[in-house]
């Protein structure tokens, strides 16, 4: 048997290519939208991808299952569990098989047995793998999707918080408890291959180790040690972060079937004057580092640096109905487009290189940085207004007295609450999110902005925790 895992760091998402070396047939489990890594590995190993399978309708990325089904003339295996509200739609144009608890299917001499593991979502299933071609009658491992992670489990509140299905969080937590009782009955030696690693918003505290075993999780995973259902539900639902705004869109895409990826070239815009000829409602996204953006940028642009957090913040802040123009180096363009495509942001109509933007310095604006010593002085002056863009849990743990809380993912919805005509001092935990927020404020007309260097951590260090911090 051939086995290879793939990890998308920007989404902390795991997918898997499994092949039967006797027959040369392979399957991809929970594929990302960009399918070339699987195709390339299959070619390298002399395998033909004949199937793709999903553990559930994903909320955090656009699935590549239908892409594989179309490109490889492959069969799609998906869940037929859960209620009508969360059934897969528009499968008519591909070969598909609906799966229920206890269903089995073969890829060459490799057997997959389905376990219904509701909780994260009603339709969630896991796949128990047995390598019969290798001479074994006992299972080797289980693909758990967003059911069981290393050190944690999937959150059951996404349907309620992200999609608005009232009451589904408590029901999902109860279903999760029951599903875990089934999981505990599996052999301790069974390998656990999860759908996410550390950094995913699909759980509270996922481990960074890429795989585990049932026995290890029974010993160390809090959710598998908790025997009281009421305590389990309370613990599971407490402290879950606010899901990213784009999760609801991902659910819709993956339920209805996302459009196939277009490989068209992106129009290169060579001057700022040429840029002015594009749709005025297009979103201008500058992908440079925050320090470079702060020194000079086009009016109306938002700064989302192309780093590990780029995909998440793009999904949070870019309207899916808007066209996108990128300010990016051409050498990075394909990687940026792939990141945006992974969450369904496909409407990229052009790009311009930073050098060409900076060449027209007459139309540039900038913002400054301020250190925490200066912030302490400025807060004595009513002209300055402190804006905290951290999330709710960070704000609850401690904050600077006098700050106004406007989480970055909600900032543009709360702008009317900002007092006009002030100098806005923007801070987060370290200075990264507040740099994005500073660009958003300027793009929406709040021009007098300063980013607090080092953020809340620098404030605590500078003031020795003796400054006016309230909880």
Domains of the chain: 2-256 (3.60.15.10), 272-365 (3.40.250.10), 368-470 (3.40.250.10)
Query: Global pTM?
Result: 0.93
Mean of pLDDT over the chain: 94
Element (H or E) spanning 424, and its range?
strand 423-427
Please state, for a pLDDT cut of 90, what percent of the chain lies above it. 84
CB half-sphere exposure, 113, CA atoms < 13 A: 13
Under 8 Å between Cβ of 235 and 222: yes
Closest CA to 436 of 350, 335, 247, 307: 307
Average pLDDT over residues 96-102: 98
Residue 124's φ and ψ, nearest 5 degrees, are -55, 135
Quick count: other Cβ atoms within 10 Å of Cβ 377? 10
Which pLDDT value is given to residue 165? 86
Over the Cα atoms of the chain, what is R_g? 24
Give the range among 204-213, 295-304, 357-366 with minimum mean pLDDT: 357-366
User: In which band, very low, low, confident or very high, does the pLDDT at 470 lie, cut at 50, 70 and 90?
Assistant: low
Tell me which residue has tokens 């925050």. 290
Closest CA to 151 of 201, 203, 189: 203
262-295 residue pLDDT tens: 777 899 999 998 988 888 889 999 999 999 999 9
Q: Which of 20, 72, 202, 428 is catalytic?
A: 428
117-140 residue pLDDT tens: 999 999 999 999 999 998 999 999
156-189 residue pLDDT tens: 999 999 888 889 999 999 999 999 999 999 999 9
- The dihedral through the CA atoms of 141, 144, 149, 153 has a sign that is negative
Beta-carbon contacts of residue 338 (< 8 Å; ≥ 6 apart): 34
Beta-carbon contacts of residue 254 (< 8 Å; ≥ 6 apart): 57, 58, 59, 62, 63
Tell me which residue has tokens 């992200």. 162
Q: Is the pLDDT of residue 232 over 80?
A: yes
Which pLDDT value is given to residue 83? 81
Which pLDDT value is given to residue 190? 99
User: In which band, very low, low, confident or very high, does the pLDDT at 463 lie, cut at 50, 70 and 90?
Assistant: confident
User: In which band, very low, low, confident or very high, does the pLDDT at 357 lie, cut at 50, 70 and 90?
Assistant: very high
Average pLDDT over residues 322-335: 97
Beta-carbon contacts of residue 75 (< 8 Å; ≥ 6 apart): 50, 51, 52, 69, 95, 96, 97
Q: Is the pLDDT of residue 471 over 80?
A: no
End-to-end CA distance of the chain: 55
Catalytic site includes residue 20? no
Beta-carbon contacts of residue 241 (< 8 Å; ≥ 6 apart): 201, 204, 391, 393
């Amino acid at each position: 048997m051939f086995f290879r895992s793939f990890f998308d760091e920007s989404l902390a998402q795991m997918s898997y290519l499994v092949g039967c070396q006797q027959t040369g047939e392979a399957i991809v489990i929970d594929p990302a939208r960009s399918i070339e890594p699987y195709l390339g590995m299959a070619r390298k190993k002399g395998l033909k991808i004949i199937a793709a399978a999903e553990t559930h309708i994903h909320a955090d990325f656009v699935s590549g299952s239908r892409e594989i089904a179309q490109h490889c003339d492959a069969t799609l295996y998906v869940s037929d569990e859960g209620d009508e509200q969360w059934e897969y739609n528009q499968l008519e144009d591909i070969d598909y098989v609906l799966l229920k608890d206890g269903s089995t299917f073969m890829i060459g001499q490799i057997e997959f047995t389905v376990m219904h593991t509701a909780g994260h979502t009603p339709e969630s299933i896991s796949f128990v793998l047995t390598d019969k071609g290798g001479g074994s009658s006992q299972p080797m491992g289980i693909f758990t999707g967003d059911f069981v992670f290393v050190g944690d489990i999937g959150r059951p509140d996404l349907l309620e918080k992200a999609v608005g299905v009232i009451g589904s969080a408590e029901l999902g937590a109860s279903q999760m408890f029951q599903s875990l009782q089934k999981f505990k009955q599996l052999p301790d030696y069974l390998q656990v291959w999860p759908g996410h690693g550390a950094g995913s918003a699909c759980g509270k505290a996922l481990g960074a180790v890429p795989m585990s075993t049932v026995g290890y999780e029974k010993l160390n995973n809090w959710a598998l040690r908790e025997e009281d259902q009421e305590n389990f539900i309370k613990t599971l639902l407490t402290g879950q972060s606010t899901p990213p705004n784009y999760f609801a869109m991902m659910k819709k895409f993956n339920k209805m079937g996302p459009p196939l990826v277009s490989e068209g070239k992106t129009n290169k815009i060579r001057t700022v004057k040429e840029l002015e000829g594009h749709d005025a409602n297009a979103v201008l996204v500058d992908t440079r580092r925050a320090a470079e953006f702060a020194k000079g940028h086009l009016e109306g642009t938002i700064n989302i640096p192309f780093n590990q957090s780029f995909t998440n913040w793009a999904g949070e802040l870019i309207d899916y109905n808007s066209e996108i123009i990128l300010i990016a180096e051409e050498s990075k363009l394909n990687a940026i487009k792939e990141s945006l495509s992974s969450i369904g942001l496909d409407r990229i109509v052009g790009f311009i290189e930073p050098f060409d933007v900076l060449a027209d310095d007459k139309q540039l604006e900038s913002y400054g940085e301020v250190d925490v010593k200066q912030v302490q002085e400025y807060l004595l002056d009513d002209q300055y207004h402190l804006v905290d863009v951290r999330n709710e849990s960070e704000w609850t743990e401690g904050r600077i007295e006098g700050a106004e809380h406007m989480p970055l993912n909600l900032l543009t919805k709360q702008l009317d609450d900002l007092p006009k005509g002030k100098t806005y001092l923007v801070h987060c935990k370290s200075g990264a999110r507040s740099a994005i927020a500073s660009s958003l404020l300027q793009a929406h007309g709040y021009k007098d902005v300063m980013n607090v260097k080092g953020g809340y951590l620098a404030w605590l260090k500078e003031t020795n925790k003796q400054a006016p911090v309230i909880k």
